[in-house]
Amino acid sequence: MSPRILSPLLLALVLVAAGCTNVSKLDLSNVGSRAMWQRPDDVVRALGIESGDVVADLGAGDGYFEPYLAEAVGAGGRVYAVEVDPGAVAGLDASIEAGNLENVEVVVGLPEDPNLPDREVDVVLLVNSYHHIDERPAYFRRLRADLAPGGQVAIIEPNEDLGGVLSLFLDEGHTSRAGDVHAEMAEAGYRSASSPDVLPVQIFEVFEVPSP
């Protein structure tokens, strides 16, 4: 996500000025930080991530979600922080070491394959990274092999339908529409599992693979 979106206070003011009803979803106990609009604890809770789970953060960037995921899965669980960008991989290594996140493993992915272990991952989370993936239906069809039975894929993306507001913070092409994501995931063989209604400026769509 562009650094411009990291201006939480300005975002709140713009949402209010635009009369955006989603302003009530801002976490005002975290004014001035990304948590105000990203609500990481609520995201983890909505996904039902529990102690012992295996989670992949696909397109982990600078590792914003890693402390929250690491705490939720606990010492008996595992977080795979997947990145394709060598600079991000180096930054992730450093922040995981600094945070002493022993249950987080950095995985160097390929653009067409996240290099996750087969049939192991309970939740694959993509935050602001879905729109970076090329050939998405083929990519997510392949990803099904990495999911544990009952595994889910959660996609959080800047909401295209807030375009006018978000264009003040984001470069073009960095937003998605829920309907387009549903169509692509259906093409990849998934069905909708839930759409948690907790985030003010991002869509939050969760998918699963129907049993045969």
Ligand X SMILES: C[S@@+](CC[C@H](N)C(=O)[O-])C[C@H]1O[C@@H](n2cnc3c(N)ncnc32)[C@H](O)[C@@H]1O
Q: By the criterion CB under 6 A, which residues form the site for ligand X?
A: 1, 58-61, 64, 82-85, 88, 109, 111, 114, 127-129, 132-133
Enumerate the β-bridge partners of residue 122.
none
Contact 24, 10 (CB under 8 A): no
- Using alpha carbons, select from 42, 49, 82, 76 the residue that is nearest to residue 63: 82
Q: Tokens 């169509």 belong to which residue?
A: 183
- Nearest distance from C-beta of residue 127 to ligand X, angstroms: 4
> Which residue lies nearer to ligand X by CB, 68 or 207?
68
Would the CA dihedral through 87, 91, 92, 93 be positive or negative?
positive
Alpha carbon distance 70, 20 (integer Å)? 33
Q: What is the dihedral of CA 191, 197, 199, 202, to 10 degrees?
A: 40
Cβ closer to ligand X: 59 or 151?
A: 59
What is the nearest approach in angstroms of ligand X to the Cβ of residue 61?
2
| Closer residue to ligand X, CB minimum distance, 64 or 189 | 64
Torsion of CA 188, 189, 192, 193, to 10 degrees: -120
Q: Which is nearer to ligand X, 26 or 56 (CB)?
A: 56
Residue nearest to ligand X (CB): 61
Q: How far is the CB of 62 from ligand X (least distance, A)?
A: 6
Q: Is 54 helix (H, G, I), strand (E, B) or coil?
A: strand
Task: Look at the block and give the residue holding tokens 């979803």.
Answer: 25
Output the smallest distance, CB 26 to ligand X, in A.
17
For residues 33 and 52, which CB has a smaller minimum distance to ligand X in the complex?
33
Dist. CA 94–CA 185, nearest whole Å:
33
Give the torsion through C-alpha atoms of 203, 112, 153, 174, to 10 deg: -10
C-beta of 61 vs 200, nearer to ligand X:
61
Tell me how far, at minimum, the Cβ of 82 lies from ligand X, in Å.
Answer: 5
Q: How far is the CB of 146 from ligand X (least distance, A)?
A: 13
